[in-house]
Amino acid sequence: MLDAPLQSKFKSGFWFGLALSALISVFASTSAARAASCDDQRGKVIYEDTFTDDSGGWEADSNTKAGGSNYMINLATPHDVWQSLNATFNASEADYCMEFVVPKSVAPDNPVQVGLAFWAPDYDNYYLASVWSDGTALVVKKTNKKWSTLASKLTDPGLKITEGSTAVIRVHAADNMITLSVNGIELKKIRAQMPSGALRFGIYLETMKDNPGNVDVDVKRFRITEAH
């Protein structure tokens, strides 16, 4: 048995270490939560919607509802794709950011894709940066309704994408360069030429396979600032 003074020192050291570990854990959690937002964007705000109401300019859709700081989107059976471009704002070279709640995968082999569309002349032509509910990311381009994959299965050891957590897709698109970051972690740089004309932006959903059940996605924030 430990003598009293030594036992006292042991207990004090143990509880101090435990308290310190808890404190570090709290700060780490706070830091992670802070990283998962669009708050660190710089430059003049071009567009922002926190969905406190339905005035954000999104096209009318019976499968969506905006209000209470949520943009709820329902991808109803049997549809496996949903897309919407903003109808009242345009953006070109800019810093694009979207916060959303990671949805549940339809099945282990059927994750849900949530994407940020940008540089969109129309629905048949745009760039798309997405996150799958299985924790991977990709960048694709749609040209005359045909898809080209620019990067797929992007991931990082520090990338934590879990069901119900807030995820952040951020795309810095300027000077012939697209930079994709997810939850504050840079995943890919791609050289690309920006299309001409009035360019739109939007939100995209898709299931990898058929959609046998309803998929609900909650978008919390969409923010665009001038590129820096």
The domain in which residue 191 lies consists of 43-226
Number of structural domains in the chain: 2
> Alpha-carbon distance 205 to 56, whole Å?
19
Question: Given pLDDT bands bounded at 50, 70 and 90, which one contains residue 32?
Answer: very low
Q: What is the mean pLDDT of residues 186-190?
A: 98
Is residue 38 pLDDT above 90, yes or no? yes
Q: What is the mean pLDDT of residues 182-206?
A: 97
Do 203 and 108 lie in one domain? The reply is yes
Instruction: Write the CATH number for 137.
Output: 2.60.120.560
Do 27 and 58 lie in one domain? The reply is no
Q: What is the mean pLDDT of residues 67-86?
A: 96
Do 89 and 155 lie in one domain? The reply is yes
Predicted local confidence at residue 20, as pLDDT? 40
- What is the chain's percent helix, strand, coil content, to nearest 5? 15, 50, 40
Do 11 and 81 lie in one domain? The reply is no
Question: Longest C-alpha distance within the chain, in Å?
Answer: 81
Do 23 and 134 lie in one domain? The reply is no
Do 55 and 24 lie in one domain? The reply is no
Do 47 and 31 lie in one domain? The reply is no
Predicted local confidence at residue 73, as pLDDT? 98
Predicted local confidence at residue 188, as pLDDT? 98
Do 63 and 29 lie in one domain? The reply is no
Q: What is the mean pLDDT of residues 64-79?
A: 96
Do 74 and 115 lie in one domain? The reply is yes
Predicted local confidence at residue 16, as pLDDT? 40
Do 19 and 82 lie in one domain? The reply is no
> Alpha-carbon distance 155 to 165, whole Å?
17
- What letter represents residue 55's amino acid? S
Predicted local confidence at residue 7, as pLDDT? 42
Question: Given pLDDT bands bounded at 50, 70 and 90, which one contains residue 21?
Answer: very low
Do 14 and 109 lie in one domain? The reply is no
Do 51 and 129 lie in one domain? The reply is yes
**pTM for this predicted structure:** 0.84
